[in-house]
């Protein structure tokens, strides 16, 4: 009988951790290492659990994630961090395998993998291939709009939305990150190949999960005679063969941000003309934007089919 893979989730009570836990419980090849409630913040106990595991998911605030990494002494333990702490650390693999063969290869051989942020996943999925193809200038002044469900705000925001209060502002889309210091901005710049971060407008709405990340482009400022058709063909070619990322050019009247809620896939849609182009990445902020990506990275690092145990994978 094949030995089960020992997995520990450090910080399993948050939204991302709970989703990962549910996915792992459904897999017969996984032994989930548990921790008593009273020991969840005991670093010594956590260190014991971490170093006894084959794979550790960090679902913690940045400082706590760094603390967990600092007590990892087992050279064979694979750390998959869902926090912001290591996404711009060159020693860590950036966990978006569809970006390139190099990204996939680094994930496959790495013991340290940083899961991309949800907003960043949509933005980078759009921008990276266009920069790589030479269509989008690195110095292009990009703007990004992202509409997301409230689960991305974690337990406090979820509780507020689900409390049934008379706060009418919760029924309205609410823009945040107005200071242009959103925590995803550094990785959005670092991993898309652009010279500086975009102007970023995240908007939270009254639905639980799902998101639509939009990057508008002025075609005359791209390299060469490039319109919506060329952008579509470039992105379609880049993601050809991907199990989780698809590219369409539907001339849809509307795109719903929760279209792929509860899926681990991403759909990139290109529309517009030879003057103005709208590119929208639709995904689940808890799926390809968090837990699903984390599971996908584990599968790759362990040499398994990347969609094993991933909902709606092929």
Point out the residues of the chain with pLDDT beneath 70.
Answer: 1, 311-314
Instruction: Give tens-digit pLDDT for 86-117.
Output: 999 999 999 999 999 999 999 999 999 999 99
Domain annotation for the chain: domains and CATH numbers: 5-116+290-301 (3.40.50.720), 118-286 (3.30.360.10)
Is residue 277 a contact partner of residue 270, using CB atoms and an 8 Å limit?
yes
pLDDT for 137 equals 97
| Spatial separation of the C-alpha atoms in residues 286 and 34, rounded to whole Å | 22
Catalytic residue among 59, 88, 118, 144: 118
Whether residue 118 lies in the annotated active site: yes
pLDDT for 313 equals 43
Continuous H helices in the chain: 15-25, 43-51, 62-70, 101-109, 118-132, 154-162, 185-190, 228-238, 292-301
Query: 3-class SS at 202?
Result: strand
pLDDT for 197 equals 96
pLDDT for 54 equals 97
Is residue 158 a contact partner of residue 151, using CB atoms and an 8 Å limit?
yes
pLDDT for 311 equals 61
Cβ atoms < 10 Å from Cβ of 176: 12
Give this prediction's pTM.
0.95
- What does DSSP assign to residue 72? -
pLDDT for 314 equals 37
Helix axis angle for 228-238 and 118-132, nearest 10°, is 110
Instruction: Give tens-digit pLDDT for 168-205.
Output: 888 899 999 999 999 999 999 999 999 999 999 999 99
């Amino acid at each position: 009988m094949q030995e089960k893979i020992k997995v520990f989730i450090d910080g399993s009570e948050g939204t991302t951790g709970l989703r990962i836990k549910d996915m792992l419980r459904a897999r017969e090849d996984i032994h989930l290492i548990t921790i008593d409630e009273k020991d969840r913040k005991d670093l010594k106990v956590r260190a014991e659990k971490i170093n006894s595991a084959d794979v550790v998911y960090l679902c913690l605030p940045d400082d706590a994630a760094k603390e967990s990494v600092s007590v990892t002494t087992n050279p064979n333990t694979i750390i998959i961090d869902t926090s912001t702490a290591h996404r711009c650390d060159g020693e860590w693999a950036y966990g978006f395998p569809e970006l390139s063969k190099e990204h996939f290869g680094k994930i496959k051989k790495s013991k340290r993998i940083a899961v991309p942020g949800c907003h960043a996943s949509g933005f980078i999925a759009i921008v990276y291939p266009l920069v790589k193809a030479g269509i989008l200038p690195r110095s292009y002044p990009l703007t990004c709009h992202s509409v997301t469900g409230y689960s991305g705000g974690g337990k406090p925001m979820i509780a507020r939305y689900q409390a049934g209060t008379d706060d009418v502002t919760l029924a309205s889309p609410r823009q945040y990150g107005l200071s242009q210091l959103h925590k995803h901005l550094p990785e959005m710049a670092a991993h898309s190949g652009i010279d500086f971060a975009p102007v970023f407008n995240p908007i939270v709405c009254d639905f639980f999960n799902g998101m639509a990340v939009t990057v508008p482009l002025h075609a005359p400022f791209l390299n060469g005679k490039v319109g919506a058709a060329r952008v579509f063909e470039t992105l379609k070619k880049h993601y050809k063969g991907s199990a989780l990322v698809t590219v369409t050019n539907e001339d849809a009247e509307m795109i719903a941000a929760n279209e792929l809620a509860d899926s681990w896939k991403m759909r990139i849609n290109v529309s517009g003309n030879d003057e103005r182009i709208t590119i929208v990445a639709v995904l689940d902020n808890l799926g390809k934007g968090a837990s699903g990506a984390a599971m996908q990275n584990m599968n790759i690092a362990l040499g398994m089919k990347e969609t094993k145990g991933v909902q709606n994978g092929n």
